[in-house]
Amino acid sequence: MANGSTGTVLTSTRAVWYGKISATLKTARTQGVVSSFILMSGVRDEIDYEFIGSFLESAQTNYYWQEHLDYTHSRNVSLSDTFENFHTYEIDWTPDSVTWSVDGQASRVLKRDDTYNATTKNYDFPQTPSFLQISIWPGGLASNPEGTRNWAGGYVNWDAEDIKDPGYFYVTLKDVKVECYDPPSTAQKSGDKSYKYTNLNGLSGDVEISGDDTVLGSFEAVGFDMKKGSDENLATVAGSVPTGVGSSNHQSAQNDENVADASVVSISSKATSTASLADVSGSAQKTTTSKSESLANVSGSDSKTTTKAASATGSEASSSTDAANSAAATSTANGGFEQSTTTTTGAVNANSSNSGDKLVVGGILATAMLAMALLI
């Protein structure tokens, strides 16, 4: 998160409908800086780990149902310094419960039965296909509501040690593991490509595993109008503007002969486009599987970067030293997820100017804009 920026969100492009998901990471530090590891669905069901940069001996666990902002659900977990030490944070999510575990030790269990709302006669329990998101964002941004700033520990100090060297706040991500569970036995099923909602109530019973495609026809298209803005022959895509072209960049095709005309942008053939996006389309899981991905395998890195990423996967052991729970971290999580949704394109790279093994995520991955797994 560079000086004055709104940080980074790293998101999966496939949704999980129940499973065991973990991330091994070091958080950012400094007041007002928030690190997050969460599951988020299309109807805003949410399961969280959040970390306040000035309370490094505490992790906050939380959940929301369809974005109902009940902040009384937050609970803290005490652990050793989250900036200095790798910890593995796990969410074990089933139709009946959510278990938060740190370094293999269960720290909190939420039972679905305990979330029953007698007024609505619904279970206020996260229950819809969700994306994995890891982020760093400025909760202490001056433009945020006062409650959010207070929860984040105060205003961000943009003159802090990490801004001076290496030049940004950062989260160090070692790996992510996703083990998908089978969908509910009662789930509607008409295919195996995608999830979609059949009712605006947005409950588990309203989710269908469908055969619908998930690749949008253009940047204008949305889940309920997949072909909006597209050309059937895919020779051109009206209204689709490649990164770097547009008024917000003070750049246009008319003043740069090297940039294609934004109104007629050539793209790959239909077959090529489908193949290139098929693996990020949000397909429903077919069976119980386990997958581990290391950032050592991120493509596009030079040899030095790859070496650093590989060494990061095993060079530091997690500390199991317990620390006293920070009383200050129990402050109300008022608006804790109000992060920016700026859609600039970014990449994953290593800090080549430093001798450490920090992995830096710069910008927001825009791939998910093209591959919608939740079709409304």
List residues with catalytic annotation.
46, 50
Three-class secondary structure of residue 252 per DSSP: coil
CA distance 358 to 13: 24
Q: DSSP states of 98-165 as a string? A: EEEEETTEEEEEEEGGGGEETTTTEE-S--S-EEEEEEEEETT-TTS-HHHHHHTTSS--TTSHHHHT
- Taken as a whole, the chain contains a residue count of 376
CA distance 363 to 91: 25
Sheet strand arrangement including 289-294: 105-111, 97-102, 87-93, 19-26, 172-180, 289-294
Report whether the peptide linkage leading into residue 184 is cis, meaning its omega lies within 30 degrees of zero: no
First to last CA, the chain: 32
Q: How does DSSP classify residue 96?
A: S
